[in-house]
């Protein structure tokens, strides 16, 4: 069965620095899709970025990028030049390509606090 | 306007009462989901719907059932609610076969007393 684990419960960083949030996953499929979502203080959950397992190049969107290490089953989220408004809970998620229906399984989340 | 709408936003019920949570989306997405969120557990999948009347259990379906009679509308029903079903419930939708990003509603905070 698929599983997603985020071991960092909470991270605090100074504004304008770079932060990396870790995520490891377990899957039996050779093809899968990895996502990061952000939950703001208001509770809203928004999609940030996606990595397809068959792509070697790390995905990048704005000041979000991914560190995809397939042999380690790891997909880290990197936020550069952090801003106060990046303070939120970040969730890693995985969708297997062929098995498990279309389930998107989430990790436990990492709380990011950005301070001045 | 791409939107997933959940009603109500807040709900208080007594143990044993029936609960209906409603979700609508205006994107004609085939796939819809119900998740619950509890502290420290992230988002847990309750049910997934692939299209009208095509529903499948997620990881924690016990105590819940769903209904999807129109593509744009997906309901979560709790028959005889229990106190351990107090949680925040999120509805989401995605295009096609679920490989695409999810769009989430704002959530319904349910308290079962």
**CB contact at 8 A, B105 and B7:** no
How wide is the angle at C-alpha A38 spanned by C-alphas A92 and B94, nearest 5°? 75
Contact A35 B101 (CB under 8 A): yes
Whole-number pLDDT of residue A2? 82
Distances in Å between the Cα of B47 and the Cα atoms of A73, A86, B14 are 27, 30, 23
What integer pLDDT is reported at residue A100 of this predicted model? 57
SS3 of residue A62 by DSSP: coil
Indicate which of A94, A103, A108 best probes the interface with B, i.e. most B CBs within 10 Å of its own CB: A103
Among candidates B98, B55, B100, which has minimal Cα distance to B73? B55
Say how far apart CA A4 and CA A106 lie, in whole Å: 6
Cα distance between residue A91 and residue B30, in whole Å = 24
Contacts of B99 (CB under 8 A, 6+ apart): A33, A95
* Cβ proximity of B104 and B91 under 8 Å: yes
What confidence score (pLDDT) does residue B48 get? 93
With a cut of 50, list the residues of chain A below it in pLDDT: none
Preferred mutation among A5, A102, A105 to probe B, highest tally of B CBs within 10 A: A102
Residue B88: pLDDT band (50, 70, 90) is: very high
Rounded CA Rg of chain B = 13
pLDDT of residue A31: 87
Q: How confident is the model at residue B98 (pLDDT cuts 50, 70, 90)?
A: low
Average confidence score pLDDT of chain B: 94
pLDDT at position B10 is 96
Mean pLDDT computed over B77-99? 91
Assigned token pair, B31: 């796939």
């Amino acid at each position: 069965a698929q599983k997603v684990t985020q071991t960092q419960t909470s991270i605090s960083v100074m504004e304008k620095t770079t932060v990396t949030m870790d995520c490891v996953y377990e899957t039996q499929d050779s093809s899968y899709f990895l996502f990061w979502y952000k939950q703001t203080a208001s509770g809203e959950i928004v999609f940030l970025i996606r990595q397809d397992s068959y792509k070697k190049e790390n995905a990048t969107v704005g000041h979000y990028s991914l560190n995809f290490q397939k042999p380690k089953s790891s997909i880290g989220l990197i936020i550069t030049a952090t801003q106060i408004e990046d303070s939120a809970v970040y969730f890693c998620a995985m969708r297997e390509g062929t098995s498990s229906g279309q389930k998107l399984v989430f990790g436990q989340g990492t709380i990011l606090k950005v301070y001045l | 306007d791409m939107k997933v709408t959940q009603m109500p936003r807040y709900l208080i019920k007594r143990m044993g009462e029936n609960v209906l949570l409603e979700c609508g989306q205006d994107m004609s997405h085939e796939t819809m989901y119900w998740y619950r969120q509890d502290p420290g557990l992230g988002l847990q999948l309750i049910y997934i719907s692939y299209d009208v009347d095509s529903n499948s259990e997620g990881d924690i379906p016990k105590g819940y059932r769903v209904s999807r009679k129109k593509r744009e509308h997906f309901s979560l029903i709790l028959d005889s609610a229990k106190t351990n079903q107090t949680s925040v419930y999120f509805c989401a939708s995605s295009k096609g076969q679920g490989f695409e990003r999810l769009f989430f509603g704002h959530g319904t905070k349910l308290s079962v007393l």
